[in-house]
A = this chain, B = another copy of it.
């Protein structure tokens, strides 16, 4: 039947026995086009549902108006908040976001980046996968840099790389969280740490350690256990903590998920929160305000990070040749709720 091939400018030109140039100009309201011609062509175009082929334009102008977002996962609150922030700024400017999920795999990350470059994506927002980080690979990034495609790190980053980045001040957030626990009077503060090596994990860990040091509190290795950012991964470590001969009287979780897992285990054991054990998370995810008791946490402005990252991208894009990478570090903010408010 009708083969449903999209209508092109040439089709319209044939119909009006004129040249493609005329049609193009008519559709773009070029002044040097007869008023009637313009009207007729525009009407007809609308009628047949003409929609211009942006692919050809991309080729012509070397502008694709598409951006890549490469993240390890999209099932966490923070990641989606960042993406929403990117969207907020960039969608209205006509940019399209290509989301690539790497599932913490180096290979997928490498392939995603290569694909994005092949597609002539105009900028890339990257939060490196854990595997990439562990292995310390970065040749796949050299490629991006060489192409001078703006590369913006969000969340997880390589510290010694000459690019812009927008991150949250994890260190001081963690520091504040632990200091808050200390100020309340908790003495044995455990830390459910994130995976080793990742900046996020290490910065929060460092905040935890340095705060304890500052207050001359002993650092007990047995109160520091690893998790994997999700609820499940907090269950066993928390059980181990609470079965210690000298168990902690407070736990600082690397994020809200982990803290909620810990909360669950503590309650199962019959502990009262915050009387018997204090809890603090990190992220200020929506749910944290509605757990029982509500969770003290550190606000991590994901949307803002997304918006700032957009800004960094735009700066780099419009910047003159001698571009200097910018680093934005947004402050995190302690949000005190019930889970730590022992009186």
A interface residues with partner B (beta carbon < 8 Å)? 1, 4, 6, 49, 51-56, 58-59, 64, 66, 74-75, 77, 80-81, 83-84, 87, 91, 94, 96-101, 108, 114-115, 117-120, 143, 146-148, 230-232, 257, 260-261, 263-264, 267-268, 286-287, 289-292, 294, 321
Contact = CB atoms under 8 A, between A and B. Distances in A.
A80 B114 CA distance: 24
Contacts of A268: 292
A101 B75 contact: no
A80 B91 contact: no
A91 B101 contact: yes
9 contacts: A51-B143, A55-B55, A66-B98, A74-B74, A96-B98, A230-B286, A231-B286, A231-B290, A264-B292
A237 B315 CA distance: 46
Contacts of A287: 231, 257, 260, 287
Contact of A53 (B99, B115, B118, B231): B118
Contacts of A64: 55
A196 to B, nearest CB: 23
Given A96-B98, A96-B100, 20 more contacts: A53-B118, A54-B119, A55-B58, A55-B120, A59-B59, A75-B80, A80-B80, A83-B99, A83-B101, A84-B101, A87-B101, A91-B100, A91-B101, A91-B108, A97-B98, A97-B99, A231-B286, A257-B287, A261-B290, A264-B292
B51 A118 contact: yes
A263 B292 contact: yes
A53 B61 CA distance: 13
B147 A4 contact: yes
